[in-house]
Amino acid sequence: MEKARQIFTPKILASTGMDVKKIVEKRVMEEIRKYPPFKRVLIALSGGKDSASLLHIIKNFLPDKDIVPVHLNLGIDGFSEKSEEFARMQAEESGLELTVFNLKKELGFTIMDAKKLYPKICSVCGGIKRYLLNKIAYESGVDIILTAHHLDDFLVRMLKSTLNAKVEELIRFKPYLPRNGNLIAKGRPFWKVSESLILRYASFESLSFITERCPIGMKKNIERLRRAIDILATNENQKNIYLLSLMKIAEKLEKTEVGMGKTQLRPCSSCGFLSSNVICSFCIRVKKIRSFIEERK
């Protein structure tokens, strides 16, 4: 486990734009250098500042990599169209062509449709996005998927799992997950960088990004947790210390019976991607959503 003091960066609040640039790029590149070698990388572009910053850094520091920028258009009224526009702009600014997966066109439903069946839409939407990115990566011969989850995302996710005693979730959320069969390796190189630092980075680098948030997310609990974390950790270093503590707990739990008895994965009998169930949750949900739409016609 990395010592908290190793990632101390004093006086971040008083730092200039150039300092922020150096800090963010250094932290991201230090992470990426720890990964096994890779050539082809999928970057999930949401249209927001986090993934825009990630693409910008990878493009500038790893020009030899084969980058596949992918945007998932979820069909959320008044939001998805604009998000796609920004994602396209970000890819273009990096000289890359964006791959767009449009849920409505490809699967026959939108996340708005899914919300009618699953009112707590975020976990379903998150699962659909993870599955699709993995599928696209697998079919495009990608070695690793990079996502822009940052320090605040990690803290919220891990604290939520701890408070709800969801040990498996706590153990599973990691900065790097190696490839396992048809599940492509995943890297989250922003895990030591706070959201506010990324915002300053994206602004300093004059990146284009959407500022609106998804209008349908039921994230009241998450917002409360975020506020609680901001009260507990008044600066970036404290956030890093808390996150390392949560990771230490997760590491210890992983070595106990709970962690050792990890669920065995097997190919989903419908799509073939590895799953802990006979039929994966993506296939089950897609079937349910489609029948739900049919019934309402």
- 167 binding partner (options Zn ion, ligand SF4, none; Cβ < 5 to 8 Å by kind): none
270 contacts which partner out of Zn ion, ligand SF4, none, CB within 5 to 8 A by kind?
Zn ion
Binding pattern for the stretch 63-102 against ligand SF4, x by CB under 6 A and - elsewhere = -----------x----------------------------
Nearer to ligand SF4, 122 or 249 (CB): 122
| Binding residues with ligand SF4: total (CB under 6 A) | 9
Q: Give the separation between CA 114 and CA 80, rounded to whole angstroms.
A: 15
Candidate segments 33-41, 87-95, 117-125, 275-283, binder of ligand SF4 by CB under 6 A: 117-125
Write each residue from 247 to 286 as x if it is in contact with Zn ion (CB under 5 A), else as -, in one continuous string. ---------------------x-xx--------x--x---
Which one of Zn ion, ligand SF4, none interacts with residue 126, CB within 5 to 8 A by kind? ligand SF4
111 Cβ contact list (under 8 Å, min separation 6): 74, 75, 76, 103, 121, 125, 128, 216
Stretch near ligand SF4 under the rule CB under 6 A, chosen from 11-19, 138-146, 212-220, 238-246 = 212-220
Distance separating alpha carbons of residues 50 and 154, to the nearest angstrom: 14
Q: Quick one: 219 exposed, middle or buried, by C-beta within 10 A (0-12, 13-18, 19+)?
A: middle
Residue 111 binds to ligand SF4 (criterion: CB under 6 A): yes
Residue 44 interacts with ligand SF4 (CB under 6 A): yes or no: no
Does position 280 bind ligand SF4 by CB under 6 A?
no
CB of 214 to ligand SF4, least distance (A): 3
How many residues interact with Zn ion (rule CB under 5 A)?
Answer: 5
Distances (CA, A) of 276 to 49, 92, 179, 272, 281: 33, 38, 16, 12, 9
Residue 280 touches which of Zn ion, ligand SF4, none (Cβ within 5-8 Å per kind): Zn ion
- Which span (31-39, 56-64, 192-200, 210-218) binds ligand SF4, by CB under 6 A? 210-218
The one among 41, 125, 183, 243 contacting ligand SF4 by CB under 6 A: 125
Beta pairing class for 185-187 and 176-177: antiparallel
How far does the chain reach from its first CA to its final CA, in angstroms? 55
The minimum distance between CB 130 and ligand SF4, in angstroms, equals 10
DSSP string of 134-158, one letter each residue: HHHHHHTT-SEEE----HHHHHHHH
Backbone angles phi, psi at 159, to 5 degrees: -70, -40
Distance CA 47, CA 210 (A): 6
How many CA atoms within 13 Å lie on the side-chain side of 80? 16
| 159-164, long-range: CB < 8 A, 24+ apart | 159/225, 159/229, 159/246, 160/221, 160/222, 160/225, 162/246, 162/249
Q: Least Å distance between CB 211 and ligand SF4? A: 15
Footprint of Zn ion (CB under 5 A)? 268, 270-271, 280, 283
Footprint of ligand SF4 (CB under 6 A)? 74, 111, 121-122, 125-126, 214, 216-217
